[in-house]
């Protein structure tokens, strides 16, 4: 992706957040130099901040996701007394923009529709080898209610609704009828090691530096 396109997407996403009443933390407005400074060490180490991905496919409008990580722990500290064991993100899934089928190794997450259109998730469970089981039912919890869907079933979340996804739940998602503001609350997030995709794709975009960045992405750290 061109950096100029990234800058445009960042501006559009910030406007979308504002329209839905969400204000990002102060470091969201920091310049690249401020993020690179000593003051930004923990932000970089925990990979907090802006994150735009087309999964390395160069088709952001069709396959992509807008993310902002607000807080995150460190996997190396898991199990230690007093460690931050959680993470929190806001995301924007555009209308019919696919976040492709994947699951996680360790992370359990709540995916919450915070505003906009309906969020649709396509769900599968794992087979014995951790691959997609295309026959078995999928068991999830949605706002405290146990639900069973057929393999590949679509769970539609209206604004305010949520679903809990465990590491054995394969999932893809997109906005139906418009763009969705998504809130993710999870155990510690590590996008470098904890994503398993169905397709041979990458988690981050390949960038072309045609202009200077407005803000750094977590992939720039």
Q: What is the dihedral of CA 101, 103, 107, 109, to 10 degrees?
A: 40
Helix (H), strand (E), coil (C) string for 102-145: EEECCCCEEEEEEEEEEEEEEEEEECCCCCEECCCCEEEEECCE
- pLDDT tops 90 at residue 79: no
Residues 6 or more apart whose Cβ sits within 8 Å of residue 161: 112, 113, 142, 143
Per residue in 176-208, pLDDT tens?
999 999 999 999 999 999 999 999 998 999 999
DSSP state of 205: P
* Gap between the Cα atoms of 147 and 141, Å rounded: 6
Distance CA 91, CA 180 (A): 8
Q: Which domains does the chain have, with CATH numbers?
A: 3-220 (2.60.120.10)
Q: Given pLDDT bands bounded at 50, 70 and 90, which one contains residue 93?
A: very high
* pTM of structure: 0.95
How many Cα atoms within 13 Å fall on the side-chain side of residue 81?
A: 0
Q: Is the pLDDT of residue 75 over 90?
A: no
CA distance 212 to 216: 10
pLDDT > 90? residue 56: yes
pLDDT in tens, 100-138: 999 999 999 999 999 999 999 999 999 999 999 999 999
Q: How many CB atoms lie within 10 A of CB 61?
A: 10
pLDDT over 70, % of the chain: 100
Three-class DSSP category at 65:
strand
């Amino acid at each position: 992706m061109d950096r100029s396109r990234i800058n445009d997407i960042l501006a559009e996403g910030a406007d979308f957040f504002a329209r839905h009443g969400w204000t990002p933390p102060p470091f969201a407005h920091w310049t690249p130099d401020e993020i690179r400074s000593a003051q930004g060490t923990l932000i970089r180490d925990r990979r907090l901040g802006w994150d735009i991905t087309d999964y390395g496919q160069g088709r952001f409008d069709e396959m992509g996701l807008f993310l902002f990580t607000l807080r995150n722990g460190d996997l190396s500290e898991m199990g230690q007394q007093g460690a931050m064991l959680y993470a929190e993100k806001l995301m924007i899934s555009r209308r019919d923009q696919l976040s492709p089928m994947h699951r996680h190794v360790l992370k359990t997450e709540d995916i919450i529709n915070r505003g906009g259109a309906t969020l649709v998730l396509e769900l599968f469970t794992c087979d014995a080898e951790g691959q997609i089981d295309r026959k078995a039912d999928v068991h999830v919890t949605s706002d405290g209610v146990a639900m069973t869907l057929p393999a590949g079933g679509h769970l539609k979340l209206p604004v305010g609704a949520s679903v809990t996804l465990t590491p054995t739940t394969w999932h893809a998602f997109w906005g139906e009828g418009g763009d969705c503001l998504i809130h993710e609350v999870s155990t510690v997030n590590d996008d470098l090691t904890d994503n398993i995709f169905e397709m041979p794709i990458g988690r981050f975009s390949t960038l072309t530096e045609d202009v200077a960045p407005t803000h750094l992405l977590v992939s720039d750290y």
